[in-house]
Amino acid sequence: MSGRLKGKVALVTGGASGIGRATALQFAEEGAAVVVADLNASAGEALVSEIVHGGGRALFISVDVSDEASVQAMVNTTVESFGGLDYAFNNAGIPDGASSLLTSTQSNWDRVMAVNLEGVWHCMRAELDHMLSVSKGAIVNNSSRSGLVGIPSDGVYGAAKHAVIGLTKAAAVEFASRGVRVNAVCPGLVETALTHTRFGENLQNRAAIANPLGRMAQPQEIAQAVVWLCSDAASFVVGVALPVDGGSTAR
């Protein structure tokens, strides 16, 4: 452990898998106490055991980010258990169930918006309540490359991810002067359960053309950016939507 974040408390939603899991491990590696918050209790508890056996401090909290009361309870339990909340990564998300706007359904729209957009909104409000009360904190929201550009087949998902950047910027400018920095990351294609579910056997072909590097990211490559954005090394970084995408939005 580097110990750079020793004494800090970090909360990661969707922390049981993929990018969230890698970020929880990275926070723990840097010495922070970590809350892994997720719908998936078995994977979340297993990750907490792994962190604790490695000498870190961690706690699993069951949450559905689309449920405001559940999110408020998550933040309350975090503060009660670890004595505060310094960093939050609002990461929980689901893929778009439709392959085209023409075939997307109302139920697809409702669930994608409820988790990927309202979930971030619920989390930010509960986290900001605490962070503003102590005049310090950093929040990173997980948007996507789909939050920066239009991607065929990602219409509803892309609408939610664009809106996450809007929420991020509005909160960033509203609260920077009160000690809380808010930013977003915009990952390109990352090898996780989500992309395997979404693209199946087409994933490798998609990866080869996804960006100038010609490969997918590993979740740790996104985690490093998130932890950096939370840390004091990014003390003058406010309201950015940072592409971590192998150059795909640059071309």
Q: Is 104 in the site for ligand NAD (CB under 6 A)?
A: no
Rounded CA-CA distance 74/203 in Å is 34
The stretch near ligand NAD (CB under 6 A) out of 2-10, 14-22, 46-54, 169-177 is 14-22
Should residue 40 be labelled a site residue for ligand NAD when binding is judged by CB under 6 A? yes
**CA 79 and chain centroid, separation:** 19
| Residue 89 burial (CB count, 10 A) | 32
Q: What is the CA radius of gyration of the chain?
A: 17
Closer residue to ligand NAD (CB): 5 or 61: 61
Among 12, 33, 51, 65, interactor with ligand NAD by CB under 6 A: 65
CA distance 121 to 68: 9
Q: Provide the minimum distance between the beta carbon of 66 and ligand NAD in the complex, in angstroms, as a whole number.
A: 5
Nearest-angstrom CA–CA distance, 134 and 76: 14
> Within its chain, how far is the Cα of 182 from the centroid?
12
User: Burial code of 104-137, b = ≥16 C-beta within 10 A, e = fewer?
Assistant: beeebbebbbbbbbbbbbbbbebbbebbeeeeeb
Nearer to ligand NAD, 32 or 63 (CB): 63
Q: Cβ 232 to ligand NAD, closest distance in Å?
A: 25
- Which CA distances in Å does 228 have to 23, 47, 133, 237? 11, 22, 24, 10
Q: Which stretch, 34-42, 75-83, 97-105, 230-238, contacts ligand NAD (CB under 6 A)?
A: 34-42
The C-alpha atoms of residue 9 and residue 226 are separated, in whole angstroms, by 14
Active site residues: 157
The binding track of 118-157 with respect to ligand NAD, each residue x by CB under 6 A or -, is: -x----------------------x-x-------------
**How near is the Cβ of 63 to ligand NAD at its closest, in Å?**
5
- Considering only residues 187 to 206 of the shown chain, the ones binding ligand NAD according to CB under 6 A are 187, 189-190, 192-195
Nearest residue (CB) to ligand NAD, 91 versus 231? 91
CA distances from 30 to 12, 95, 220 (A): 14, 30, 13
Residue whose CB is less far from ligand NAD, 28 or 39: 39
231 binds ligand NAD (CB under 6 A): no
Could you tell me how many residues of this chain bind ligand NAD (CB under 6 A)? 29
Point out which residues bind ligand NAD (CB under 6 A).
13-14, 16-20, 38-40, 63-66, 91-94, 115, 119, 142, 144, 187, 189-190, 192-195
